């Protein structure tokens, strides 16, 4: 035992007999000395053995020469050996010896606490954090070092696991977007001015269909199989990652030409030519692939990923299952698309949408019996835009839902006012289009209910028209939702009929009231016998199912005469009138404009 005599408020002079050579010097301590003057603190080395963490003392025998002179029980347990009088080499594995010597030497020379980590022991090695504090003699030279060690193996294991998780996809164990960005940074830095870096992004086509129809477990199995297949066709040095969802990416290093990356991209896409076995099911899926190659020393991972996604989108737009190389024209279209999307959001707030109306004419009465509502966008810079300029983007972004709800309310409100203005005439019907997004919106039925209640329009005067392809792809939803609307008295129409995938089976289970023949078939009437035969068959089919048949896109008297001969019920098109604002169409509504003299020609 020995006494520690405080010399000032933050240091103690100490003499601790441990090992053959006692430790003598000044120990810095984190607590003040007693205020009432010197006091003796008795320390027994047995107490050090009771400390929960390892403690050791090292004698400084010369420059970078150290000798352990004390270790407590915890330290010896950590190393599973008694090294209280051993050489440093006896207790430190060879791979960590240099780190220890450097740390001890720094503490001795600089007279400050030094911290470091290393692996100690060998059965198995443990990760240990060490703090080494110098003990200074009366001559100001470090004579001994006192250290405390802390086993941080479990902490480091957890940290390593978390680091792995943050950089890897939990399903496929592939590196994720975070690591992909790191790869791109490193590859671009290494490439310099001469070499190039390629990026291939793959998006599995119709992956959502697998999840929705077979379940997410089947989707996971598909991703695992796809990742395995892709890994087998990579070039040496290529790196595969999962960006998220059904999107995967490959980084190509040291690219000598764009053709090299395109060749790899086609090989990756071909992986999806073979069917995927998912349990008892077998599915065939393609992949849309985008390719981008770095361009100069100022290239960035952000731009590569952005333009790669643009190329993937272009591949999807052009029919899916194909490889597209990014070019500046794609970027211009992407920028334009973003501008349209942003503009649509502002247009909803600013009230820039307009509804134009196109008359629907009855052959038998030779007069207007209804109108179709068609949305327009009064763009503040580009002027009046027709649906083709923005509806596809509105559909993909989901903005079609609030836009469609506004059009429905505006059209029903206008129609109700016209009917109220002309109570002596037969009521005017209104047709409004529904998109796929609207059909899948769980609030659609309640939206229609609230619009009809607010406008007081007779539900029988409202026809909701859905594209026939949408009906086929969403058959179960269509049967349910359209059935609810039909029970309210709303009429249901199939738009663009004759060019999609509709069949008698679909029409027989859907509450359909009208068929509208696609304008592409009407355009060939009187010129192509095949179109005449198809239109004739559609008219016959509609009447056999007790449906009203409408021809859209009527532009000349030959088409009009042919349709009348075939027994078509209704028609609309430029021959009668172009879509016009409500104030223009109001005159036609009030006069129930007739075309009898022209039709009879």
Q: The tokens of 503 are what?
A: 């069949």
pLDDT band at 30 (very low <50, low <70, confident <90, very high): very low
pLDDT computed for residue 42 by the predictor: 35
Mean pLDDT of 571-582: 91
Q: Are 494 and 465 in contact (CB under 8 A)?
A: yes
Q: DSSP assignment of 527-549, as one string?
A: T-HHHHHHHHHHHHHHHHTT-EE
Burial 503-541 (b: 16+ CB within 10 A, else e): eeebbeebebbbbbbbbebbbebbeeeebbebbbebbeb
Of 77-81, 117-121, 259-263, the one with minimum mean pLDDT is 77-81
Reported as a pLDDT band with limits 50, 70 and 90, residue 346 is very high
Looking at residue 600, its pLDDT comes to 41
Average of per-residue pLDDT across 422-440: 90
The proportion of the chain whose per-residue pLDDT surpasses 90, expressed as a percent, equals 42
Q: Where are the domains of the chain?
A: 42-156, 168-326, 339-591
CA-to-CA distance for 136 and 502, rounded, in angstroms? 93
What CATH topology corresponds to 42-156? Beta-Lactamase (3.30.450)
Exposure b/e, 89-127, CB count within 10 A at least 16 = b:
eebbeeebeeebbebbbbbbeeeebbebbbbbbeeeebb
User: Do you know the residue count of the chain?
Assistant: 601
Is the pLDDT reported for residue 444 higher than 60? yes
Give Cα 59 distance to the centre of its chain. Answer: 60
More reliable by pLDDT, 3 or 500:
500
Range of lowest pLDDT (262-271, 287-296, 493-502): 493-502
Domain 168-326 annotated CATH 3.10.620.30: no
Contact criterion met (CB below 8 Å) for 409 and 455 = yes
Give residue 3's pLDDT: 29
pLDDT at 494 over 60: yes
**Strands in 214-322 per DSSP E:** 239-244, 247-255, 276-278, 281-283, 287-293
Is residue 134 predicted with pLDDT exceeding 50? yes
DSSP state for residue 321 in the 8-state scheme: S
pLDDT tier at 192 (50, 70, 90 boundaries)? low
Give me the pLDDT at residue 423, please: 83
Structure tokens, 282 = 């077998």
pLDDT greater at residue 50 or residue 469? 469
The CA distance from 284 to 265, in Å, is: 19
At residue 596, the pLDDT reads 52
In this structure, the number of other CB atoms found within 10 A of the CB of residue 48 comes to 20
Two structure tokens written together for 387 = 């649906």
Tell me whether residue 321 is exposed, middle or buried, using C-beta atoms within 10 angstroms of its C-beta: 0 to 12, 13 to 18, 19 or more.
middle
What is the rounded CA–CA span in Å between residue 360 and residue 413?
A: 18
What residues contact residue 62 under an 8 Å CB cut-off, 6+ apart? Answer: none
Say if residue 240 is preceded by a cis peptide, omega within 30 of 0: no
Strand-pairing partners, residue 172, are: none
| DSSP secondary structure letter of residue 175 | B
Strand partners, 16: 23
- State the average pLDDT over residues 162-170: 88
Taking residues 68-87, report their average pLDDT.
Answer: 66
Return the axis-axis angle of helices 400-421 and 444-455, rounded to nearest 10°.
30
Residues 583 and 586: their CA atoms lie apart, in Å, by 5
- 502 pLDDT exceeds 80? no
Q: Looking at residue 40, what is its pLDDT? A: 35
What is the C-alpha separation between 570 and 591, in angstroms, rounded?
Answer: 19
Give the residue-averaged pLDDT of 372-398.
92
Q: Are 427 and 419 in contact (CB under 8 A)?
A: yes
Which is more confidently placed, 12 or 566?
566
Q: What is the pLDDT of residues 516-555, one digit of tens each?
A: 998 989 988 877 788 899 899 999 989 998 999 999 999 9
Phi-psi category of residue 11: left, alpha or beta, with phi > 0 → left and psi -120 to 50 → alpha: beta
DSSP sequence for 87-115: BHHHHS-HHHHHHHHHHHHHHHHHTS-EE
Mean pLDDT computed over every residue of the chain: 82
Q: How would residue 26 be classed by pLDDT, with cut points 50, 70 and 90?
A: very low
Asked whether the beta carbons of 290 and 201 are under 8 A apart, the reply is yes
Of 500, 498, 495, the closest CA to residue 514 belongs to: 495
**Measured distance CA(299)–CA(185) in Å, rounded:** 9
pLDDT, average across residues 391-403: 92
Q: Which pLDDT value is given to residue 549? A: 95
| Interatomic CA distance for residues 166 and 343, integer angstroms | 36
Q: First CA to last CA across the chain, in angstroms?
A: 126
Please, which residues bridge with residue 581 across strands? 356
Q: How far apart are CA 556 and CA 504, in angstroms?
A: 31
Look at residues 181, 208, 213 and name the one whose alpha carbon lies nearest to residue 197: 181
510, 445, 437, 444: which is closest to 472 by C-alpha?
510
CA distance 443 to 438: 9
The model scores a pTM over 0.85: no
Beta-carbon neighbour count of residue 360 at 10 Å? Answer: 23
Assess contact for 97 and 88: CB atoms under 8 A. Answer: yes
Mode of pairing for the β-strands spanning 353-362 and 580-581: antiparallel
Confidence band, pLDDT 50/70/90 cuts, at residue 193: low
Which one-letter DSSP state was computed for residue 272? G
> β-strand 383-385 against 367-379: which pairing, if any?
antiparallel
What per-residue confidence (pLDDT) applies to 93? 57
For residue 25, what pLDDT band results from cuts at 50, 70 and 90? very low
Q: Is the pLDDT of residue 33 over 70?
A: no
Cβ pair 482, 511 in contact under 8 A: yes
- pLDDT of 194 over the 80 cut: no
Please report the pLDDT score of residue 48 as a whole number: 62
* Burial of residue 575 (number of CB atoms within 10 Å: 0-12, 13-18, 19+): middle
Q: Radius of gyration (Cα) for the chain, nearest Å?
A: 40
pLDDT computed for residue 18 by the predictor: 35
| Contact assessment for residue 493 and residue 515, using Cβ atoms and an 8 Å cutoff | yes
* Confidence band for 347, pLDDT divided at 50, 70 and 90: very high
Residue written as tokens 């690219």? 255
Output the CA–CA distances (angstroms, integers) from residue 226 to 209, 211, 557, in the order listed. 16, 15, 57
Which of the four pLDDT bands, split at 50, 70 and 90, describes residue 311? very high
CATH match for 339-591 among 3.90.1150.10, 1.10.260.40, 3.30.70.1230, 3.20.20.450: 3.20.20.450
Q: According to the per-residue pLDDT averaged within each range, which of 113-122, 159-168, 349-358 is highest?
A: 349-358
């Amino acid at each position: 035992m020995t006494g520690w005599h405080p010399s000032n408020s933050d240091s103690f002079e100490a003499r601790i007999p441990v090992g053959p050579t006692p430790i003598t010097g000044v120990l810095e301590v984190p607590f003040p000395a007693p205020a009432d003057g010197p006091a003796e603190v008795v320390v027994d080395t047995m107490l050090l053995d009771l400390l929960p963490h390892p403690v050791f003392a090292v004698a400084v025998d010369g420059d970078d020469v150290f000798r352990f002179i004390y270790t407590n029980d915890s330290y010896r347990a950590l190393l599973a050996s008694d090294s209280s009088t051993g050489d440093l080499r006896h207790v430190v594995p060879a791979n960590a010896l240099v780190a220890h010597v450097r740390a001890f030497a720094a503490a001795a020379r600089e007279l400050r606490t030094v911290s470091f980590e290393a692996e100690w022991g060998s059965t198995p090695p443990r990760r240990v954090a060490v703090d080494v504090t110098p003990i200074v003699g009366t001559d100001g030279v470090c004579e001994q070092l006192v250290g405390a060690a802390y086993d941080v193996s479990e902490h480091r294991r957890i940290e390593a696991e978390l680091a792995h998780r943050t950089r890897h996809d939990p399903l496929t164990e592939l590196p994720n977007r975070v690591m992909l960005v790191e790869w791109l940074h490193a590859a671009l830095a290494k490439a310099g001015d001469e070499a190039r870096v390629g990026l291939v992004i793959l998006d599995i086509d119709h992956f959502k269909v697998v999840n929705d129809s077979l379940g997410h477990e089947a989707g996971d199995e598909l991703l695992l199989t796809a990742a395995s297949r892709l890994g087998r066709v990579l070039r040496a040095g290529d790196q595969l990652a999962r960006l998220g969802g059904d999107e995967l990416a490959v980084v190509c290093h040291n690219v000598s030409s764009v053709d090299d990356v395109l060749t790899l991209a086609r090989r990756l896409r071909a992986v999806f030519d073979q069917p995927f076995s998912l349990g008892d099911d077998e599915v065939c899926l393609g992949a849309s692939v985008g390719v981008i190659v770095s361009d100069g020393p100022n290239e960035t991972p952000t731009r590569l990923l952005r333009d790669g996604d643009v190329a993937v989108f272009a591949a999807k737009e052009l029919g899916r299952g194909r490889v597209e190389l990014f070019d500046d024209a794609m970027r211009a279209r992407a920028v334009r698309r973003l501008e349209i999307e942003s503009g649509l959001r502002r247009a909803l707030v600013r009230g820039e949408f307009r509804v134009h109306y196109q008359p629907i004419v009855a052959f038998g009465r030779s007069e207007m019996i209804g109108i179709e509502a068609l949305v327009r966008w009064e763009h503040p810079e580009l002027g009046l835009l027709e649906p083709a300029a923005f509806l596809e983007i509105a559909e993909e972004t989901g903005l079609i839902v609030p836009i469609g709800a506004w059009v429905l309310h505006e059209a029903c409100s206008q129609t109700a006012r016209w009917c109220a203005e002309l109570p002596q005439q037969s009521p005017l019907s209104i047709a409004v289009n529904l998109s796929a997004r609207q059909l899948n919106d769980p609030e659609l039925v309640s939206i229609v209910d609230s619009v009809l209640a607010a406008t007081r329009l007779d539900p029988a005067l409202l026809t909701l028209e859905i594209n026939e392809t949408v009906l086929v792809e969403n058959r179960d939803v269509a049967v349910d939702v359209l059935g609810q609307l039909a029970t309210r008295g709303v009429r249901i129409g199939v738009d663009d009929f004759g060019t999609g995938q509709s069949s008698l089976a679909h029409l027989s289970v859907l509450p359909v009231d009208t068929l509208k023949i696609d304008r592409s078939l009407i355009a060939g009437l009187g010129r192509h016998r095949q179109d005449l035969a198809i239109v004739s068959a559609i008219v016959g089919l509609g009447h056999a199912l007790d449906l009203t048949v409408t021809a859209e896109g009527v532009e000349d008297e030959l088409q009009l005469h042919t349709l009348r001969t075939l027994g078509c019920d209704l028609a609309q098109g430029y021959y009668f009138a172009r879509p016009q604002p409500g104030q223009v169409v109001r005159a036609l509504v009030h006069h129930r404009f007739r075309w009898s003299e022209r039709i009879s020609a």
